[in-house]
Structure 1
Amino acid sequence: MQSSPGNVWGSISLSLLEEGNATADTYDMTVIIPTFNEEGNVAAIIDAVGGVFQKSGIRGEILVVDDSSSDRTIPIVEEIAGRNGNVRLIVRKEDHGLSQSVVEGFGSARSDILQVIDADFSHPPELIPRFYEAIRDGADIAIGSRYMKGGNIEQWPLKRRIISLGATAFGRILFPEVTDPVSGFFAVRRDVVSGAPLAPRGYKILMEVLGKGQWHSFVEIPFVFKDREEGESKLRLDTMVDYLRQCAGIVRFTVTRRAGPVWDEWLKILRFGFVGLSGIFVNTGLLYALTEIAGFYYLLSAAIAIEVSIVNNFIWNDIWTFKSARDLRFGRRISRFGSFQAVSMGGLVINMGILYLLAEVAGVYYLVANLVGIFVAFVWNYMVNRHITWMTR
């Protein structure tokens, strides 16, 4: 239930709210709420976050960063902030955008733990203490995940679910260990973003933090995402274009800097590709030797060559690409090999299936069709092996 501006803070103790002359470490936590035309939600979300602070004992600051709303969002927040010392409002006049608002909030916050939450109750405020404790316990970033066990999305149409899953899958290419890299519900230690060359665009600020921030550890907290209670969704075509441009910017930054989690992931992809190339040479050479020199029937030679190339690829990926040499226990290695074998067979089926469909059904030149099949099979092999065979978390 929404509260009117006049009684939003009726239940909050004055000792928590009436604090002046705040410095960068005045508060335990800053909750940053980016807004644009949120008059139907903003009073209620401030009330809810304030209630969470009171119940949990967190000395928290609420920082509303508004993108020059044309409705009553600004006067509502001004009225609340005028009566409560831990509520502040920043009104941005240019370079509008949700991510830009969050970054400005990072720079203006008066605490070392920074939480981002939507104003429309898509993110449950009652989970804020879990994010706070995760950072206090040593994590650099705490991420609310819709896609891990216990997470979910409610009241979304199929089209929006598909778009979200696609964006998440694309983001996991850059950050494979994060189940929801496009989440807008997260907390971060100030040191992670302080001095980071964030160049936000669109709505996926977490991607920017993951790609350019100085972090080493993260935790994920499952939550149920609920669609907007009031107002309109801001999902548009230009949002998706901004997201792709943002991903490209993160990759460029990573390649230039040659450090960080994205760079590490691209190195794995390149190594995986080189190992696959070595497997082609092993396969072709052994096929020729068994058929032309040893006199084996060519299909038998091919079967042996395929299996030997799979063994070759597994060994090199295990000790070089994913650096699992420390885990030499026989049972673990056999388990990884079994998984790799199954995934490789799946990739072979995908390759042959695409070759047949494109060449026989669509009329594509068979060599071109084969290249498409190889590419899709490569993506399959890497992603499935990365997330299953050599999953590190």
Structure 2
Amino acid sequence: MTERYDLTVIIPTFNEEENIAAIIEAVNGVFSENGINGEVLVVDDSSKDRTISTVQGIAGRRENVRLIVRKEDHGLSQSVVEGFGEARSEILQVIDADFSHPPELIPRFYEAVRDGADIAIGSRYMKGGDIEQWPLKRRVISLGATAFGRMLFPEVTDPVSGFFAVRREVVAGAPLAPRGYKILMEVLGRGRWRSFVEIPFVFKDREEGESKLRADTIVDYLRQCAGIILFAATRRAGPVYNEWTKIVRFGLVGLSGIFVNMGLLYALTEIAGLYYLISAAIAIELSIVNNFVWNDVWTFKSARDLRFGRRVQRLASFQAVSVGGLVINMAVLYALADVAGVYYLAANLVGIFVAFAWNYVVNRHYTWKNL
């Protein structure tokens, strides 16, 4: 009879010979110290180094350690999903092999799910969380990905975290379409869940081995987000659909603001005869007011709170966020173009994307909070 466990820790691997023995030992140490009847499930993508033989040797000595070697359709997310199906417990924990996720926090994730949460998420961006020893370029990419993820899941501070635990029923039978590295996004976007908790942790860059972050990781992530949005749109229901409706409206309002800005700039300069910089200042301000009014009555539908004082507060907040978005756009452009050496047009496109994400997320959480 196959033994059942209280918790399965899934470790996806590819060429992790420097870390795998140590992480398995650390996880088993956590099990012993906390009285958890747990298994370690290593899901490997046909590593070319000694990862497989190392795990096989450990599994021969420890009954709670298992190895799955995947021969095709390689990828971290695909490995985790296969681990979901092969796990011998009702609570599933995902952790990296390189100690970037602290194994000593596993009991907190386990207890959170055992006590009723559908998903427990390790967050680098809530109070108590942090990232150590990351270069500027990687920080910018991570912040951009997180900001876009928060546009889909605004209540989750770190929806692209790779450190999480989930109840089996959330993913069992769910139409997951894994690709790339952001498997939590798939779980949030396609899984069957109602409640989550977040646990702060300090992300530490890998101690041994080579980071697998590549340029195509960004492409995979954007394709994954598009798939989640399409999945939600075809069902016209759920948190992603509701949030994406707001995002599209927010974008359309922003587009209308461009037309207002350009039209006023032309009219005030060419027809009214004002100096073009004065015209530009007036046009910018009135376009911000235009965007605020449409977002207030259409995007976020704040008809429940039309008090004059509250509207003035929302307008002031929206104005401050808009200025912050401009500063962020310029900062990202400078950081990527002058510091990281990215082509300036591509850098500006990234800056626009990050600024849009900033504007939406901050306005969603502060300007129109609870609306």
Asked if 1:68 corresponds to 2:46, the answer is: yes
1:163 counterpart residue number: 141
Aligned positions of 1:104-123 closer than 5 A: 104-123=82-101
Identify the match of residue 72 of structure 2 among 69, 88, 94: 94
The residue type equivalent to 1:153 in the other structure is: I
Partner of 2:317: 339
Quickly say closer, same or farther: Cα 1:227–1:278, change in 2 above 3 A. Answer: closer
Question: What are the superposed Cα offsets for residues 362-389 of structure 1, whole Å, 9 maximum, x if unpaired?
Answer: xxxxxxxxxxxx9999766533311322
* CA deviation map 1:237-275 (0-9, x unaligned): 222221222122222222222222221111122444677
Following the alignment from structure 1 to structure 2, what is the Cα–Cα distance between the partners of residues 107 and 146?
28
CA-to-partner distance for each residue in 1:325-375, whole Å, 9 max, x for gaps? 667999877754553454467789999xxxxxxxxxxxxxxxxxxxxxx99
Closer, same or farther: CA 168–376 of 1 in aligned 2, 3 Å? closer
SS at match of 2:197: strand
The residue aligned with 1:188 is 166
Partner of 2:123: 145
Q: 1:266 aligns with which of 244, 255, 273?
A: 244
SS in 2 for 1:31: strand
Whichever residue aligns with residue 112 of structure 1, its letter is E
The equivalences for 1:233-382 within 5 A come to 233-272=211-250, 321-322=299-300, 335-336=313-314, 338-340=316-318, 342-343=320-321, 381-382=359-360
| Greater relative contact order structure (CA < 8 Å, 6+ sep) | 2
AA matched with 2:190: K
Offset of 1:177 from its aligned partner?
Answer: 2.4
Q: Distance in 1 between matches of 2:196 and 2:145?
A: 20
Mapped to 2, the partners of 1:345 and 1:90 lie a distance apart of 51
In the other structure, the counterpart of 1:34 is 12
Corresponding residue of 2:333: none
Further displaced range: 331-340 or 203-212? 331-340
Correspondence for 1:363: none
Could you say which residue in structure 1 is the equivalent of 2:103?
Answer: 125
Equivalent position amino acid for 1:40 in 2: E
**Distance between the aligned counterparts of 1:210 and 1:261, measured in 2?**
9
Q: 1:334 to 1:45 in 2, by over 3 A?
A: same
- For 1:98, the aligned partner's letter is L
Letter matched to residue 195 of structure 2: S
1:228 maps to which of 198, 202, 206: 206
Task: Give yes or no for the alignment of 1:205 onto 2:183.
Answer: yes
Deviations 1:19-39 (A, max 9, x none): x622xxx22211100111111
1:53–1:331 CA distance, 2 compared to 1 (3 A): farther
Decide whether aligned partners of structure 1 residues 56 and 307 sit closer, same or farther in structure 2, where only a CA change above 3 A counts.
Answer: same
SS in 1 for 2:180: coil
Change (3 A) 1:376 1:44: closer
Gapped runs of 5+ residues in structure 2? 262-273, 275-280, 330-351
TM-superposed deviation, 1:321? 4.0
The 3 A distance-change label for structure 1 pair 232 and 382 is: closer
For each residue in 1:160-182, what CA deviation from the matched residue of structure 2 results, as whole angstroms up to 9, or x when unmatched?
Answer: 22222222222222222222221
CA RMSD of aligned residues (A): 3.9
Q: Distance in 2 between matches of 1:118 and 1:346?
A: 35
Tell me the secondary structure at the aligned position of residue 220 of structure 1.
Answer: strand
**For the structure 1 residues 255 and 208, does the alpha-carbon distance in structure 2 shift closer, same or farther, using more than 3 Å as the test?**
same
> What percent of counterpart residues are identical?
82
SS of the aligned residue for 2:53 comes to helix
Amino acid at match of 1:132: Y
Structure 1: runs of 5 or more not aligned: 1-19, 284-297, 352-373
Counterparts in 2 of 1:337 and 1:41: CA distance versus 1, 3 Å: same
Which residue among 14, 21, 32 is the counterpart of 2:2? 21
Deviation at 1:90, TM superposition (A): 0.8
**Cα 1:307–1:275, aligned 2, differ >3 Å: closer, same or farther?**
same
Residues 128 and 201, structure 2, Cα contact 8 Å, conserved in 1: yes
Cα deviation per residue 1:11-54 (whole Å; 9 max; x = unaligned)?
A: xxxxxxxxx622xxx22211100111111111111111111111
Question: Aligned pair in 2 of structure 1 residues 190, 342: CA closer, same or farther (>3 Å)?
Answer: same
Distance 1:193 1:329, change over 3 A: farther
Tell me the distance in 2 between the aligned counterparts of 1:158 and 1:313.
Answer: 32
C-alpha distance in 2 between matches for 1:279 and 1:266: 20
Is 2:366 the counterpart of 1:385? Answer: no
In 2, the alpha carbon distance for the partners of 1:205 and 1:197 equals: 13
For residues 388 and 73 of structure 1, the distance between their equivalents in structure 2, rounded to whole angstroms, comes to 47
The equivalent residue for 2:267 is none
Change (3 A) 1:392 1:57: farther
Tell me which of 36, 61, 80 is aligned to 1:58.
36
